[in-house]
Structure 1
Amino acid sequence: MCTRVFWNDNPIAKVASRSMDWEVSDEPQLWFYPRGLDRSGGPQPDAAAWQSTYSSVALSMWNVGTSDGMNEKGLAAHALFLDDIQPPAGTGLPTVAMAMWVQYVLDNFSTVAEVVQHVNDFELIAPPIRGQYMGAHLALEDPSGDSAIIEPIDGVMVVHHGPEFTVMANSPDYDDQLANLARYAPFGGELTPPGDITSLDRFVRASYFRHYLPEPTTIQETVAGVFRLTQNAAVPPGAPYSNGGVYPTWWHAAADVTNLSYYFWSTLSPSVIWVDLAALADGTELLALNPRQDELVGDATSAFEQSKLLYG
């Protein structure tokens, strides 16, 4: 359960924010991945193999794969949960596990258009992680303001491509989300914004308040603007869904794809941190940082550089 918002029509910067909602903490770890890393689409025998063309900063989920991130070209990618996915199967193409989908994109492509062009170059699979099914759809944006939503549905990679696709939540699929949005003002209908925590309502609420965002005058106001939107769509601790499950928001991230700054805010902390990817982009070592440390606040780039690990 998550929400993503992209603010691409302001005069300051193209910035996206997303929240991570889950039953338990995904124990996010922040990584810097240099160019030239040998990669695999998973442990399966037919996994795709590649070498990273672009460096990136990314968040891992339980140290498995990548759930969110941005590369040195300003291409950002966000994996959000989507139920009942059915990716194309039996294609004979190399496979990429769902947990590696974001990193595959960040390693290999520089723009949203490139990703869309190559969306069928591999076969996406969804093995369980920690015994849990992990279906997902992907949101993308880049410094031009371009955006795309990619969903593996009924054996087809369904793509919504264009700068108008600025909001994404979870199930149902994107076409159904857009149809529901059309029931509300100012998107064609007359209903006022809903206040529930369901995916449908979060999608409408994020779209509604994004529509009315006042024009920012600084980069600080721009980043704060998208953070406010995902905060508005956040799920408070203990709030139950209709099925009785509780999936609170654990963190928010923001990608400034214009200035290559990546932000992280744990909902257990009052402090936002950020990393300057432009300063790290030419680095050759794999770096790691626990972004949930209580003492971290503000620019954490130097702390990131001090957390050096050997790849592999």
Structure 2
Amino acid sequence: MCTAITLSSGSNEQFFGRTMDFSFDIIPQFFIIPNSYTWNSILDRRQIIDSYRFIGVGQKLDGLLGFFDGVNEKGFAAAVLYFAGYAKYDEESKYRSKDAIASIDFLHFILGKCSSVESLPEVLKNISVVGVVDPITNTVAPLHWIATDRSGACVVMEATGNGIEIINNPIGVMANSPDFPWHMTNLRNYMGTSPTQMEKTVWDEVTLTPFGQAGGTKLLPGGFTSPERFVRAAYLKSHIPTPEDSSEAITACFHIMESVSIPKGAVKTSRNTYDYTKYTAFINTNTCQYFYKAYDDLDIRSISL
């Protein structure tokens, strides 16, 4: 589970944020990766050199450093979300003409190599994403990714049978399964949702009036499934007043994410563990500044590249 959004301010700053909803124990930390940082691919231990420095939230476990989200010095930001039942990674032997990248290395790879959303196709044209068991879940975690930059452009990257597909994301929202095109089609079921409401109507000779405000939002779904969270996030980010500056944008971002944040106890897995929002983070891609709030600490803290 997880939800991600983009948001623009009236001062032309671009923001990118996500909730990290997870049912496994994680200890997220901030890492700053310097310019020309050299690291070893999980798959074949070959050396990879990052082109850009970046700051990201991740975890180091059993000698493996994996990232959940981040932003680099060029303002390119990205995050990884679960994609259960839909991710189809390449087999390592299938694309011998391409450079294989482990699924849990992919976010590090693009943060270190991409200067913008526009640069993604060129960076990924010779890349094959291969599923690898991660030390947190001890499974080949099904993943997909969202990316944005200072221009406000936004894309989703989903692993299919034909490799990594880069999909334009005009709504600037992402959740989990099903695939992104399905979510966009599903929004058509909520076309009647509105910030305003009908003041009255007449049935036969009876005049009906609303109980109060918010009648126009009655169609919004209220659960925590991926489709419901996607719809709520899309509706809210599309209808809030445009924030005038950075401060208003950060406030708006966290309020939007309150509608999709999962309290502990609301969702329980078959493993008898709680799936809940471990943290919420927002990034100002113009300043490469993080704003971060943990489940057990409601203070919004800031850290910058």
Instruction: Judge same fold: TM > 0.5, yes or no.
Output: yes
1:276 aligns with 304
Match in the other structure for 2:89: 87
Q: 1:96 to 1:51 in 2, by over 3 A?
A: same
Shift of 1:132: 2.6
CA distance in 1, matches of 2:188, 2:11: 27
Verify: 1:58 aligned to 2:62, yes or no: no
One-letter code aligned to 2:39: R
Q: Give the residue type in structure 2 aligned to 1:19.
A: T
Q: CA deviation at 1:191?
A: 7.5
Say whether the 8 Å CA contact 2:289–2:303 is kept in structure 1: yes
* Aligned twin of 1:206: 233
Asked if structure 2 preserves the Cα contact closer than 8 Å seen for 1:185 and 1:192, the reply is no
Alpha-carbon distance between aligned partners in 2 of 1:79 and 1:187, rounded to the nearest angstrom: 29
**Equivalent of 2:290, from 238, 262, 266?**
262
Contact 2:76 2:116 in 1 (8 A): yes
CA distance in 1, matches of 2:36, 2:108: 13
* Aligned residue in 1 for 2:68: 67
Q: Which amino acid aligns with 1:6?
A: T
Look up the SS of the partner of 1:224 in the other structure.
helix
Output the CA distance in 1 between the equivalents of 2:235 and 2:46: 40
Correspondence list, 1:121-136, <5 A:
121-130=126-135, 131-136=138-143
The equivalent of 1:298 in structure 2 is: none
The answer to whether the aligner puts 1:104 opposite 2:104 as a matched pair is no
SS of 2:2's equivalent?
Answer: coil
Shift of 1:248: 0.4
Question: 5+ residue gaps in structure 2?
Answer: 195-216
Aligned to 1:247: 275
Any gaps of 5 or more consecutive residues in structure 1?
A: 278-312
Residues 121-180 of structure 1 deviation map (CA, whole Å, 9 limit, x = unaligned): 211112121313311111000001111101002333222125x14000001111111121
Does the 8 Å contact 1:26/1:62 carry over to 2?
A: no
2:125 aligned residue: 120
Using a 3 Å threshold, how does the CA distance of structure 1 residues 242 and 22 change in structure 2: closer, same or farther? closer
Aligned positions, number:
273
Query: Is the counterpart of residue 223 in structure 1 residue 250 in structure 2?
Result: yes
Contact 1:25/1:250 (<8 A) preserved: no
Root-mean-square deviation over aligned CA pairs? 2.2
Look at both structures and tell me which one has the larger radius of gyration over its CA atoms. Answer: 2
2: CA distance, partners of 1:78 / 1:186: 31
Bigger strand fraction: 2
1:63-95 per-position Cα deviation (integer Å, ceiling 9, x unaligned): 431111000000001000111311233101222
Whole-Å separation in 2 of the counterparts to 1:112 and 1:199: 25
Opposite residue 235 of structure 1, the aligned amino acid is: I
CA distance in 2, matches of 1:10, 1:2: 27
SS in structure 2 of the partner of residue 182 of structure 1 = helix
Report the counterpart of residue 138 of structure 1 in structure 2. Answer: 145
> In 1, are the aligned partners of 2:9 and 2:244 still within 8 Å (CA)?
no
Report if the CA contact (8 A) 1:66-1:103 is conserved.
yes
Partner of 2:160: 153
Matches within 5 A, 1:290-301: none
C-alpha separation between the residues in 1 aligned to 2:193 and 2:120? Answer: 29
Please state if 1:195 is matched with 2:222.
yes
- Give 3-state SS (helix, strand or coil) of 2:80's partner: strand
Partner of 1:32: 32
**TM-superposed deviation, 1:212:** 0.9
Offset at residue 245 of structure 1 (A): 6.2
How far apart are residue 185 of structure 1 and its match?
Answer: 2.3
TM-score (norm 2): 0.83
Query: Corresponding residue for 2:6?
Result: 6
How many percent identity over aligned positions?
A: 22
Structure 2 distance, partners of 1:180, 1:205, is 12
